[in-house]
Amino acid sequence: MERAAVGILMLETNFPRPLGDIGHAHTWDFPVHMRAVGGASAQKVVHQDPRALFDAFVQVGRALVAQGCTGLTTSCGFLSLMQDDLKDALGVPFASSSLMQIPMIEAMLPANQQVGVLTISKESLSAAHLHAAGARDDVPVEGLPRDGAFATAIFEDLPEMDVTACHAEMCEMAQRLVSKHETVGAIVLECTNMAPYAADIAEITGRPVYSIVSFLNWFQAGLAPPRF
């Protein structure tokens, strides 16, 4: 059986996408088709209401389905706000955000543990985003510094990114998350650009780490189950 293609509704960006990022084609060992959604900047989607861009996402999503994609996703975890509306409008399985993994992960953790979230913007990640992803709205959340290397590169859409500084920020904030919340038994990375750092976050915190990569590998496996 030919492996099913996943369509990725990309934000309109220019910042670097290293291996492991959702926007790096070699991150995936299955076919992906990527299309940018006009006007969908990281600033608009994270700091404003992305639902204002609903029609643009529908147009691009339908084009990806016409291209042969049997499942769709997005390149920003904050788009969980449009999960219900977009899945109905697009008519195929739709996975808006890595945050959707939270309920399944918590179902696997011991009763005295919970999921913690590392996000690009703690002040913008609301209870509404979590609820739309099917998660509890009181999960522990830690964010990256707004003026740090990672957030600056993403929100200012810079052509270069200091990967070493980003790595240090990720590890520091992940350690802060588990230090402040000792019950955190697993970490979900909200931002699709955080996945390149997942292995180091897992190593330094001693917790399993789930990202858009873990989510989409699971998602695609159901679209095209292996034949044995």
Same domain, 74 and 112: no
**Do 66 and 149 fall within a single domain?**
no
Q: Say if residue 92 is in the same domain as residue 116.
A: no
Mean pLDDT calculated for residue range 162-166: 96
| Tens of pLDDT, residues 183-223 | 999 999 999 999 999 999 999 999 999 999 999 999 999 99
Is 70 exceeded by the pLDDT of residue 2? no
- Does 202 lie in the same domain as 131? yes
pLDDT at 227: 87
Q: Is 195 exposed, middle or buried (0-12, 13-18, 19+ CB in 10 A)?
A: buried
In a domain, 228, yes or no: no
Do residues 206 and 102 both lie within one domain? yes
Question: Looking at the domain assignment, is residue 147 inside a domain?
Answer: yes
- pLDDT score for 4: 78
- For residue 1, is pLDDT > 60? no
Instruction: Identify whether residues 88 and 124 lie together within a single domain.
Output: no
- What is the crossing angle of helices 54-66 and 83-90, to 10°? 40
Domain of residue 142: give its range.
98-211
103 and 116 housed in the same domain: yes
- CATH classification at residue 71: 3.40.50.1860
127 and 192 share one domain: yes
Domain assignment of residue 106, yes or no: yes
Q: Which tokens belong to 156?
A: 């200012």
User: Does residue 196 lie within any of the structural domains?
Assistant: yes
pLDDT at site 3: 65
Number of domains in the chain: 2
16 and 81 inside one domain: yes
Summarize pLDDT for 59-112 with one digit per residue, the tens: 999 999 999 999 999 999 999 999 999 999 999 999 999 999 999 999 999 999
Total-model pTM: 0.96
In this structure, are 51 and 124 located in the same domain? no
Question: What does the mean pLDDT of the chain come to?
Answer: 96
Residues 118 and 67 grouped into a single domain: no
Residue 187 domain flag:
yes
- The pLDDT > 90 percentage for the chain reads 97
Give 81's contacts (C-beta < 8 A, 6+ positions apart): 49, 50, 51, 128, 129, 132
Q: Are residues 86 and 113 in the same domain?
A: no
